[in-house]
A = this chain, B = another copy of it.
Amino acid sequence: MKAALQAYLDCYNASDLDGVMSLFAENATFEDPVGTPILQGVAAIRNFFINAMETPATLSLSAPIRGSHGNAAAMAFEANAGQVTVRAIEVMTFDDNGKITDLKAYIGPSDLIRA
């Protein structure tokens, strides 16, 4: 699961949309940021990433990825897009095939920093 989180960062940074999407289960749920409407299914999630990748950004870990004793892992990272940095923690839950079934992104209004 930690490898999947690292692959998520690497694929995102390579603008590899298919690579990012290959990590998700067909009916995955996706809440980014937490407190906004939850997307369901790979079609909706793909649209999210198509839009997100229109703004070039580099994601870098703030600390080593954390695992769990269950089917989840979590990471703190920053997304740097020119003069804007977004601080995030994402928690991902996995199925038995190692695919992401749920992603939650903890990002608040005060986690968007303008240089």
Binding site for B on A (CB under 8 A): 2, 33-36, 62-64, 66-76, 78, 87-89, 91, 104, 106-111
Contact = CB atoms under 8 A, between A and B. Distances in A.
Contacts of A107: 66-69
Given A67-B107, A76-B76, 8 more contacts: A34-B68, A62-B76, A66-B108, A67-B106, A67-B111, A73-B108, A74-B89, A75-B89
Given A91-B89, A91-B91, A66 B76 contact: yes
20 contacts: A34-B68, A34-B72, A35-B70, A35-B71, A35-B72, A62-B62, A62-B76, A66-B89, A66-B107, A66-B111, A67-B107, A68-B106, A68-B108, A69-B107, A74-B76, A74-B89, A74-B91, A74-B106, A75-B89, A91-B106
Q: Which of A35, A78, A87, A106 has the most CB of B within 10 A?
A: A106
